Structure 1
Amino acid sequence: MSAPQLKAAIVGGGVIGGGWAARFLLNGWNVAVFDPDPQAARKIGAVLDRARASLPAFSDRALPPQGRLSYCDSLEAGADWVQESVSELLDLQHKVYAQIAGALPEGGFIASSTSGFKASDLAAGDAPVVVVHPFNPVYLLPLAEISGAPELPARAAGAGGT
């Protein structure tokens, strides 16, 4: 019996979002990308090409089978991990988080790639947010700065001690 397939939702498909997509996808996760930019698939494709060419050289074992990549016209429910990588505009991020909140599983939270805001600045309404700011390139460096707000909404209480 095989392990259940994990799914990541990537919100924002620029350089950082594309790096997250590559990190998850090339480590066997299914990845759903939401980005209204008509060039998102091309941009993420370029990041994936770089990741596929370089990532195998950094390990002495083969990568797991690649996950499935899809592009979505709306935010999807059912992701095990939601990684937000939109522009660093607080009003925009709050609007995006309000949309994501309805798709979060019980105990879920939004992982933000922000480098300029604290989790307490980002939290809005019923959308618990944890900062998971990656080192670059995201697909090569398995390092991230992680920080949370002193108090997350009750909804996130079961989110693994975040």
Structure 2
Amino acid sequence: MANFADWQDRMLRAAWRHGDDLPVEVLEWISELYGEVGEISEEVFCELWTARTFSMARAAFQVIKKSVEGEIGKKVTGEEYCYIDYVRDPDIGPVGVVRIKSVEVSTPDWEEILGTMAEGVQEFVMSHYRIVWPVCENHRKGLHAGYFRGISVWRCREGRAGGHVVRAIDPAARL
């Protein structure tokens, strides 16, 4: 029976994440998973990794959906729109990939998923409605998804300092 560190190392290699600098949230999830179920196979681990990523993507989409619909009054869901796509292709890798428009994510990290979903919805809003969303109120320019102190944020590239954080993507997050 291997110890936790050996098992975690094997699981991360199975998910093609060995040596990656993973967020604490993901490492804590792996530790909790091990504590709850003990050693599991690489195949089962990859299935759980993928299921977590896809579940988090759906939750992140709801956060972004609420923001965009509240700010511009346009719908980003409905039968005519189907943009969150899940791909499980052994040629691409052992874990599934969640795609929204042209961006994709395969790591169960809330902030990375939130930023990815924000970019995808932003791309949809621009291509479907021909609306720039979100916009910096000070500079009247479109914002870009980014990260600040580990939090997914909307950034403006204008201003003297070469840009600034406008707000967190998730209204519940504290900067």
- Please give the TM-score of this superposition, normalised by the length of structure 2: 0.27
User: Which of the pair has the greater relative contact order for Cα pairs under 8 Å at 6+ separation?
Assistant: 1
- Please give the TM-score of this superposition, normalised by the length of structure 1: 0.29
